[in-house]
Amino acid sequence: MPKGPKVVFLDRDAFTVKIEERMIDVPCTWVNFESTPDDLMTERCRDAVAVVTVGNSLERHHLEPLKHLELISACSTGTDHIDTAYCAGRGISVANAVGYATHTVAEHAISLLLALRRNLISYHHDVAQGEWQKSDQFSLPNHDIRELYGNRLGLIGSGGIGRAVGRIAQAFGMEVVIAGRPGESLQPSGRMAFEEVLKTSDVLSIHCPLNDATAGLIGLREFRLMEKKPILINTARGGIVDEVALVAALEQGLISAAGFDVASTEPIAAHNPLLDLVGDPRFILTPHVAWASREAQQAAYNQAVDNVVSFLKAR
């Protein structure tokens, strides 16, 4: 017999390491699904009062039949995969997890930058192919290596993750500048005009949310403004950068390299232009794992469960 309101976790196996289960100290019927395909979303949630998800899209057509739903608890900071406008109109609360991924995403962004700046993948490939073994010199510096010291890092987005990236960059001796909003002539204290950041930065790192204002924020026009041919890092959301324009920018030498952890559709579609760059040593693509340190996964899970518990206690 059910012990209380039904709670459905749609994609429990999105957490790939063993997560310590939280004690649920309120009566409820908690149902875990390893993953949930789109065509089963509504059916699995039909009697649920609360739904927990890491990355499932919950659009209006999923939500309309769910007459009992009162809460969506996202195991993420971003909620762009949830129709929040519809939820607001229906009185469905949307809770997210905050702050859990600050360190892990910042470390991943810097890792992408270091791997590209020092050509680590190309050097590893050389050793795997026996090039160093055949060399008559102790060292094999046949790929360009550049230092970060003295370079300018332009941050597009300066929330907790952006600031964490900035602190790490400053430890490397980089100058850190923060981009203002595009099109604004007057900038708040501590910010530089968006186009000036694009023109003068050696590295650009994106840390803003995906919304109507940031969708397609970096396109071919913006790439053409990048006078210093920077490295572009994106650990935020794929839709912020025009992916077709990114391919063109690398092909035309408008940027020197790019490191991405995100794509416009995820899992990445077979026809996504980013896949055309896989194998190019100037490009690194990881499968949206910047957030996924063991510590961050546990923290995100804890927050999502705590949000449900708090909701049920107050109900």
Which among 143, 266, 282, 294 is annotated as catalytic? Answer: 266
Task: Indicate if 124 belongs to the active site.
Answer: no
Rounded distance, CA 252 to CA 250, Å?
Answer: 5
CA of 291: how far to CAs of 18, 97, 154, 214, 239, in Å?
Answer: 16, 12, 21, 21, 18
Please, which residues have CB within 8 angstroms of residue 83's CB and are 6 or more apart in sequence? 58, 59, 60, 63
Q: Where are the alpha helices (DSSP H) in the chain?
A: 41-45, 60-63, 84-90, 102-117, 120-128, 131-134, 160-171, 194-200, 220-224, 243-251, 294-314
Which among 12, 62, 207, 237 is annotated as catalytic? Answer: 237
The answer to whether 95 touches 74, Cβ cutoff 8 Å, is yes
Rounded distance, CA 79 to CA 97, Å?
Answer: 10
Comparing C-alpha atoms, which of 15, 59, 58 is closest to residue 34?
A: 15
The answer to whether 274 touches 263, Cβ cutoff 8 Å, is yes
CA of 154: how far to CAs of 25, 113, 263, 293, in Å?
Answer: 46, 13, 21, 25
Which among 62, 152, 207, 288 is annotated as catalytic? Answer: 288
Q: Which residues pair with 231 in a beta bridge?
A: 203, 257
Task: Indicate if 118 belongs to the active site.
Answer: no
Comparing C-alpha atoms, which of 228, 236, 172 is closest to residue 197?
A: 228
The answer to whether 192 touches 153, Cβ cutoff 8 Å, is no
Report the catalytic residues: 237, 266, 288
